Structure 1
Amino acid sequence: MCYDVSFHTNIQLTLDIFPDLADNRQLELNSDALIHVEGHALPLYYIINTKDHVPQLTNMEWGVTPLYVKDPKERTARRSGMINARSERILDDHKSYWYRIRNNRCLIPVSGIYEHRQISGWKNKVPYLVQLKDTPLFFLPGLYQESTEVDTLTGELYQEGTYTLITRPANSLMAQIHNSGENKHRMPLFIHHEMAKQWIDPELTEAGVREVLNYEIPAEELSYSTVYTIRGGKQRPDHQEKDAHWEWAALPPLGNDTPLNAGTQQSLF
């Protein structure tokens, strides 16, 4: 699945790609603080959706609120399990929550995503930054939800916007990187700019939605680089940002998960 993303770019790039985009952000976020965003923290982020046939840039929190849960505290707790939506369940699983909100389509602007690779005998997985080639910014399709919630401290009602990021079966490259864990061999639904514009078009037919959901980006259109640990507060020894390349000693090439000339993992942690 995909729980880690990077938005380390100028928001003006999004406005350039969508020149008719209404900028309805309630908050300006610090780009440097978004080099790594972890979904389980339910962070506030940027998304693009369409309101009254006008695309808009707004702020929403990652992790859809499950409206079938009535208790406000339990709703929040359940959101960590609503960070990703499997593409296969959006149109064809009529019992799925994603089917219920299938028409609430949105885009998440990112500069890259992070995924972890397991190496035989290594305690810690190796993080990779994966991006679309030849573009500093791309858009991951998602679904969003707007709801009325209750402040558990004051009892006051407020409007909340939340979203989920869509994943699909991995292509040949991502299957070699995301090679372990309960949700191994999955990846975000990578799409190009023109397909992203179609995704938030309210006139898009079900056949058009299915075409986007079934799209598998060719492996050669993705770039990838190993990085230092992205989770936790440990600083990089070279003091560079989290999205900068980090050379892992004895790291085997993709497709071979046995360390090169080493029996143990280099000491990073």
Structure 2
Amino acid sequence: MCGRFSLETNWTEMVRQFALRSNVDRGPALAPRLNIAPTQPILMVGELGGQERNALLVRWGFLPTWVEDPKDFPLIINARSETAISKPSFRHAMRHRRALIPVSGFYEWQRFGKGQPSQPYYVRPRDDGIIAFGALMETWTEPGGTEMDTGCIITTAANDSFAPIHHRLPLVIQPKDFDRWLDCRTQEPRDVADLMVPVQDDFFEAIPVGKAVNKVANDARAIQTRVEPMTDDGKAPEAAEQQLSMF
């Protein structure tokens, strides 16, 4: 799954990279966000209702239109590519509200044995820059009529290089495929199914980072600082060395 990510860009770069065509002169000031978490507002790009491509803020936590009370519905931050087309929760959004999420990188935790600490990684594209995750968006309306835009990230099975860290990987949509992915007027879900595959093995680099990223409140550059990764038994390298020295 993908439960945290970062975004560092400015509005001018957003307009250029995602070919935004609506409200391009009235963009927000985009401060760096280094530890974006579920339920927070995230920036998404879409062509909603056949309108011009635009970016808007969306709650990270997908709510299908038929949900009556979000408190009684699980928090959905990811949708599996294998079932997004057929699953009732996502079927409408796959047909009408496919979107992109601009991202600088994301965080994933490598799990060891039961009861062992996990090793967080900051995963970023090898050539830096902003990339786009495939996503779904839906507008949920509460009984009183107030609307809230919600969204989630689509994930695929991990590629070979990422599999040792985690078995799932966010779906990356390449710039050449933006038009096709966002075109919900002429491109049905089956027409874009070929895009929902793992990104190539050499696309990302994974940097082991410290436990500070575990706390959502930590949003400073230091959370992306490289550290020595834990060993396969979930121990810090220095702890493992101390243990070996006893034998």
TM-score by length of 1: 0.76
234 and 65 in structure 1: CA distance in 2 versus 1, 3 angstrom threshold? closer
Paired with 2:56 and 2:133, the residues of 1 have a C-alpha distance of: 15
Q: Is the 8 A contact 1:21 1:57 kept in 2?
A: no
How far the C-alpha of 1:124 sits from its partner, in A, is 2.1
Task: State which drifts further: 134-143 or 21-30.
Answer: 21-30
Q: Does 1:21 align with 2:21?
A: yes
Paired with 1:17 and 1:204, the residues of 2 have a C-alpha distance of: 22
Q: Secondary structure at the match of 1:198?
A: helix
Q: Is the 8 A contact 1:119 1:258 kept in 2?
A: yes
Task: State which drifts further: 56-65 or 12-21.
Answer: 12-21
How far the C-alpha of 1:87 sits from its partner, in A, is 0.6
Q: Does 1:55 align with 2:50?
A: no
Q: Is the 8 A contact 2:59 2:149 kept in 1?
A: yes
Q: Is the 8 A contact 1:117 1:177 kept in 2?
A: yes
Paired with 1:209 and 1:56, the residues of 2 have a C-alpha distance of: 20
Q: Secondary structure at the match of 2:194?
A: helix
Partner of 2:82: 88
Partner of 2:215: 232
Q: Does 1:111 align with 2:111?
A: no
Partner of 1:7: 7
Partner of 1:245: 225
How far the C-alpha of 1:172 sits from its partner, in A, is 1.1
Partner of 1:219: 201
Paired with 2:241 and 2:217, the residues of 1 have a C-alpha distance of: 21
Q: Is the 8 A contact 1:121 1:263 kept in 2?
A: no
Task: State which drifts further: 223-232 or 160-169.
Answer: 223-232
Paired with 2:139 and 2:241, the residues of 1 have a C-alpha distance of: 48
Partner of 1:263: 240
Map 1:143-158; keep pairs closer than 5 Å. 143-150=136-143, 156-158=144-146
> Paired residue for 1:176, among 161, 164, 171?
164
Aligned residues: 237
Q: Secondary structure at the match of 1:101?
A: helix
Map 1:130-145; keep pairs closer than 5 Å. 130-145=123-138
Paired with 1:112 and 1:10, the residues of 2 have a C-alpha distance of: 16
Structure 1: gaps (5+ residues): 151-155, 179-184
Paired with 2:202 and 2:41, the residues of 1 have a C-alpha distance of: 32
Q: Is the 8 A contact 2:84 2:91 kept in 1?
A: yes
Letter in 1 for 2:37: E
